[in-house]
């Protein structure tokens, strides 16, 4: 493996000096890019794209050919673990992911198999190693997983949900059943992320997409506690480098102090949290990643640049900031607007690192 030519993303996550603020985008390989849509059509469907390591590598590299990004992120899906547990993942056009089988009681939780990520999710590991080789040290590769709570919501609801009726009913009526499910998932996620690290991922992110839907104490007990368990079990150094860990709870701004106590290296912020306030609260413990509203990318380039300038000024001088969106880039964004966003960070951020 080649040495990294650009390690500012990893350095910023570890709060080491950088020449400018690094940038990548959640969902940077995705439907806003015409070349992605062409590759997905070639694959036939979304999961076929995920399971073809050469095509997964191709779509991972596509945004790097267009933009001066500081990291690549594995092209995959957060629902690979429940799929490997036999729940039968499929996608309805325009409706998102669905499962043929759902988890509603202790018996179905107990029946879930224990995963061996290198065997049961070998296609992901092949994608990681293929991408890492193709990058040839250009930028670091990020691996990722969904959080136990977020995965559990899909497994219990059978797909996406607005109110998490079944998952929250289990949380309040049968907490021991939900804890049993979350414990299984935490072990699976730990194994999965460690397998990605061994295959070549140089940083990992845990996506707690639905943690913000929980009540205060429920978040601490049913989401954060299991992310803590994962962080405690992760490989933190590989190939002679530290492997930074990013926790991202969408809607989680009120829990930053508790999240920082997990020992993660960085916290992702959505756009509802002011980054200067977040830095004042936890910036001496962790790096911060974020946090422009993805909808800003629908605005004209001058407005995008102004919002980038505002966020950079809000964070202030010094390292420990990875610029990103506050959630994933949306399919309707003009790729030229994404370019204006990234170039604004590249051009405006060096002034904060002198």
Q: Which residues are catalytic?
A: 27, 31, 40, 77, 154
Question: Any known ligand binding at 201?
Answer: no
For 158, which DSSP code?
Answer: S
Question: Any known ligand binding at 279?
Answer: no
Question: Any known ligand binding at 129?
Answer: no
Question: Any known ligand binding at 320?
Answer: no
Question: Any known ligand binding at 132?
Answer: no
Question: Any known ligand binding at 232?
Answer: no
Question: Any known ligand binding at 11?
Answer: no
The DSSP result for 302-318, as a single string, is HHHHHHHHHHHHHH-SS
Residue whose entry in the numeric block shows the structure tokens 């990004």: 69
Question: Any known ligand binding at 28?
Answer: yes
Task: Give the span between the Cα atoms of 308 and 50, in whole angstroms.
Answer: 32
Task: Give the span between the Cα atoms of 113 and 86, in whole angstroms.
Answer: 8
Task: Give the span between the Cα atoms of 354 and 290, in whole angstroms.
Answer: 21
Name which of 206, 182, 72, 77 is nearest 137 in CA terms.
Answer: 72
Task: Give the span between the Cα atoms of 31 and 40, in whole angstroms.
Answer: 9
Question: Any known ligand binding at 165?
Answer: no
Q: Count the helices and strands in the chain (H runs, E runs).
A: 17, 11
The DSSP result for 246-291, as a single string, is EEEETT-GGGHHHHHTTT-SEEE--TTS-HHHHHHHHTTTSEEEEE
Q: Are 81 and 185 in contact (CB under 8 A)?
A: yes
Q: Are 255 and 224 in contact (CB under 8 A)?
A: yes
For 4, which DSSP code?
Answer: P
Annotated binding residues, as ranges?
Answer: 27-31, 77, 154, 209, 327
Annotated binding residues for substrate, as ranges?
Answer: 27-31, 77, 154, 209, 327
């Amino acid at each position: 493996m080649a040495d990294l030519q650009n390690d500012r993303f990893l350095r910023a996550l570890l709060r080491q000096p950088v020449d400018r603020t690094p940038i990548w985008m959640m969902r940077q390989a995705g439907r806003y890019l015409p070349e992605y849509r062409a590759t997905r059509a070639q694959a036939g469907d979304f999961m076929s794209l995920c399971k073809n390591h050469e095509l997964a590598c191709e779509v991972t590299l596509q945004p790097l050919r267009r933009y001066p990004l500081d990291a690549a992120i594995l092209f995959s899906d957060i629902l690979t673990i429940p799929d490997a547990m036999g729940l039968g993942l499929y996608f309805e056009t325009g409706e998102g992911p669905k499962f043929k089988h759902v988890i509603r009681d202790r018996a179905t939780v107990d029946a879930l198999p224990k995963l061996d990520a290198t065997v049961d999710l070998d296609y992901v590991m092949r994608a990681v190693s293929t991408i890492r080789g193709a990058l040839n040290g250009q930028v670091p590769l990020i691996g990722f997983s969904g959080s136990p709570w977020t995965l559990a919501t899909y497994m219990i609801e059978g797909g996406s949900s607005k109110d998490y009726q079944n998952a929250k009913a289990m949380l309040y009526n049968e907490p021991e059943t939900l804890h049993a499910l979350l414990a299984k998932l935490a072990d699976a996620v730990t194994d999965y992320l460690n397998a990605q690290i061994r295959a070549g991922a140089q940083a990992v992110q845990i996506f707690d997409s639905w943690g913000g839907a929980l009540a205060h104490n429920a978040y601490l007990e049913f989401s954060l506690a299991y992310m803590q368990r994962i962080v405690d079990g992760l490989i933190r150094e590989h190939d002679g480098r530290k492997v930074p860990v990013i926790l991202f709870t969408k809607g989680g701004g009120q829990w930053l102090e508790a999240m920082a106590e997990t020992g993660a290296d960085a916290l992702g912020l959505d756009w509802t949290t002011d980054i200067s306030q977040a830095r004042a609260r936890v910036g001496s413990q962790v790096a911060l990643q974020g946090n422009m509203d993805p909808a800003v990318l629908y605005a004209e380039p001058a407005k995008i640049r102004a919002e980038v300038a505002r966020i950079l000024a809000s964070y202030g001088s010094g390292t420990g900031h990875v610029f990103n969106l506050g959630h994933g880039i949306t399919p309707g964004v003009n790729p030229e607007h994404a370019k204006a966003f990234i170039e604004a960070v590249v051009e405006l951020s060096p002034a904060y690192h002198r």
